[in-house]
Amino acid sequence: MTDRALAVVRAGALTTVQDTGRPGHAHLGVPRSGALDAPAAALANRLVGNPPQAAVLETTLNGVAVRPRSAVTAAVAGAPCAVTVDGRPAPWSAPVHVPAGAVLDIGPADLGLRSYVAFAGGVIVDPVLGSRSTDLLSGLGPAPLADGTVLPLGIPANLHARVDVAPQPSPPTELLLRVTLGPRDDWFTPEAVRTFTTRTYEVSPASNRIGLRTRGPALERAAAGELPSEGMVLGAVQVPPDGRPVVFLADHPTTGGYPVIAVVRPEDLPAAAQAVPGTPVRFIAAGR
């Protein structure tokens, strides 16, 4: 194998390879996948001179540590965290030179949930349906990282596009999700719809890349029975039998039979990727 590669020293709780995903395959039952916090992944790529679609590492909660076989420029964006190179502090949200054989360690998130690690040239695992993303629902793409995994890296290009530092939003202390009601809000009582758009929920620890689960007041149905399976979209707010809303994220199923009370605006979803369990959640009706 070429020395343009890195070895995983510490895989962390859940570290996956992600890019801009594989939209357009829902008819095959394939979710779009891709980085949950797409702006953070794009910023990490920009910091090392990559195009936005280059594959990066998405860490969850407690980071990752890797050892490149050759010198590489890396950058970490998303959830703020400690970054070290062979134990020496390095900047977060800025390009970092990592010598060959040194250990780049991305520590636990100080705020938020997911950090994104880009390497000049990108991670070049084999693409599946046009994407290098790991899909936890269908199993497409590379498996989540394990200690000892070796990942190939591409050849750096367009280094003139690299920036030295860039601002990014802080993880949310309160998650505000603007929603368009429907298509199945009529399956719930008027009081349930009011509850949904006026009461505060919180992020459940059961949340993952498939969906952000909530804890809070249950939503009462006005209609009995079940729906035939329907197509699901990114940001759909499905309400399972326990009455607690679930916001579908990048690895969501492409069909489902529970009613969708609303759909979250796409621009509000990156913040959901950084909302830790216990974060207050409010759904704000923003018209149809």
Between 271 and 288, the higher pLDDT residue: 271
Give the model's pLDDT for residue 192: 98
Mean pLDDT across the chain:
94
DSSP3 helix / strand / coil % (the chain, rounded to 5): 15, 35, 55
Task: Check pLDDT > 90 for residue 57.
Answer: yes
Task: Check pLDDT > 80 for residue 167.
Answer: no
Between 15 and 162, the higher pLDDT residue: 15
Residues whose CB falls within 8 Å of the CB of residue 95, separated by 6 or more in sequence, listed in order: 47, 48, 73, 74, 75, 162, 164
Contact predicate 125/132, CB 8 Å:
yes
Contact predicate 211/245, CB 8 Å:
no
Between 194 and 171, the higher pLDDT residue: 194
Give the model's pLDDT for residue 157: 79
pLDDT tens for 236-256 read 999 999 999 999 999 999 999
Give the model's pLDDT for residue 1: 46
Percent over 90 (pLDDT), the chain: 90
Q: What is the mean pLDDT of residues 199-216?
A: 98
Task: Check pLDDT > 60 for residue 161.
Answer: no
Q: Provide the residue type at 184 as one letter.
A: R
DSSP sequence for 207-268: --SSEEEEESPPPPBSS-S-PPPEE--TTEEE--TT---EEE-TT--SEESS-EEEEE-GGG
Nearest partner of 105 among 176, 19, 40, 8, judged by Cα: 8
Task: Check pLDDT > 60 for residue 160.
Answer: no
Going by DSSP bridges, is the β-strand pair 150-152/255-256 parallel, antiparallel, or unpaired?
Answer: unpaired
Q: What is the mean pLDDT of residues 139-150?
A: 97
- CA dist., res. 270 & res. 250, Å (int): 10
Domain ranges within the chain, ordered by starting residue? 5-161, 175-285
User: How far are the Cα atoms of 78, 97, 195 from residue 94, in angstroms, in the given order?
Assistant: 12, 10, 43
Question: Domain 175-285 adopts which CATH fold?
Answer: Cyclophilin (2.40.100)
Q: Provide the residue type at 287 as one letter.
A: G
Lowest mean pLDDT among 86-90, 108-112, 156-160, 197-201: 156-160
